[in-house]
């Protein structure tokens, strides 16, 4: 019987049929099985356990030890990924293997910034600049370049104004220069203030937010509309229709009254005339008969 502990054979099978081959003796210890269904490569150990064969990422304790190992082993190649233990964080970080023109290997960190030492204020192309000020040296907004800022601490709109604002949470501020002055917008949770600074003066317009209105106990437009819709009130269209109906009825009543009065007057006049004529005729006959 062959000594399978001294060599390995490659065997091609589906994963579910491996045990059948082991039972039949066609797959032995230290054989390597390529699985047709799971695309795995498995090693059969001395107790017939199946161990997946996976590519291993080299791990090093320092950059120097990594580069020394890579330049002394023939399996090193450009583009290889390795792990190096950070002396700062105590965790492994990913590095890429690169090759110089003379053939030697060196490594570079795949991540330019580590999460532990990332500082927003040091990165380029920041959408918002963070600026802090003190009561002794407040940030003067109209002296800033065009852009968007988050101002923490004390700041002034301009040296033309004595007012110093203080905000610990940080207001969002935009600054834009034109030929005549500086437009400044200060955005906070309670209001939006528009300032314009020119050579003569500083003008200001303030727009309060819904949050500030609610904090003050006032109703917003949407809340007023909702309450009005819940009430049983007459609308403008209802009022117009009601007035038109009253006018129509009034005109009809006036016409009816005029017609009635005219008919009554005509009737009374005709009746009185006929009655007068009848009475006169009868009276004359009666009188004449008295003398006959």
Q: Per residue of the chain (292 residues), give pLDDT as tens.
A: 445 556 788 888 898 899 999 999 999 988 999 888 877 888 899 899 998 887 678 899 999 999 999 999 888 889 999 999 988 888 888 999 999 999 999 999 886 555 555 666 666 667 788 888 888 888 899 998 998 888 888 888 898 888 888 876 667 889 999 988 999 998 877 778 899 999 888 988 887 777 766 776 666 667 667 766 666 566 666 667 766 676 676 655 655 555 555 556 665 666 566 555 554 444 545 544 544 4
pTM listed for this prediction: 0.37
Q: What is the pLDDT of residue 150?
A: 87
> Are 104 and 118 spatial neighbours (Cβ–Cβ below 8 Å)?
no
Query: Can you tell me whether residue 35 is helix, strand or coil?
Result: strand
Q: Which residues contact 203 (CB under 8 A, 6 or more apart)?
A: 195, 196
> Are 10 and 32 spatial neighbours (Cβ–Cβ below 8 Å)?
yes
Q: What is the pLDDT of residue 37?
A: 84
């Amino acid at each position: 019987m062959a000594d399978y502990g001294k060599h390995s054979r490659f065997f091609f099978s589906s994963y579910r049929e491996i045990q059948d081959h082991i039972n039949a003796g066609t797959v032995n210890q230290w054989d390597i099985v390529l699985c047709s269904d799971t695309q795995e490569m498995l090693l059969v150990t001395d107790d017939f356990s199946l161990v997946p064969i996976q590519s291993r990422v080299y791990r090093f304790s320092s950059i120097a030890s990594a580069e020394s190992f890579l330049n002394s082993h023939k399996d090193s190649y450009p583009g290889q990924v390795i792990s190096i233990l950070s002396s700062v964080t105590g965790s492994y970080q990913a590095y890429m293997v690169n090759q110089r023109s003379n053939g030697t290997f060196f490594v570079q960190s795949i991540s330019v910034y580590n999460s532990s030492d990332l500082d927003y204020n040091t990165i380029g192309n920041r959408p918002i600049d963070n600026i802090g000020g003190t009561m002794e040296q407040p940030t003067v907004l109209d002296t800033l370049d065009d852009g968007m800022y988050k101002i923490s601490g004390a700041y002034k709109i301009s040296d033309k104004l004595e007012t110093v604002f203080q905000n610990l949470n940080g207001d969002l501020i935009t600054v834009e220069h034109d030929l005549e002055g500086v437009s400044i917008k200060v955005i906070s949770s309670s209001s939006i203030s528009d300032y314009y600074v020119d050579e003569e003066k500083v003008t200001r317009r303030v727009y309060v937010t819904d949050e500030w209105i609610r904090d003050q106990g006032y109703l917003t437009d949407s809340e007023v509309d909702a309450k009005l819709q819940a009430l049983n009130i007459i609308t403008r269209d209802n009022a117009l229709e009601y007035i038109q109906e009253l006018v129509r009825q009034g005109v009809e009543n006036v016409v009816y009254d005029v017609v009635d009065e005219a008919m009554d007057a005509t009737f009374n006049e005709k009746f009185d005339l006929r009655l007068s004529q009848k009475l006169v005729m009868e009276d004359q006959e009666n009188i004449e008969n008295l003398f006959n």
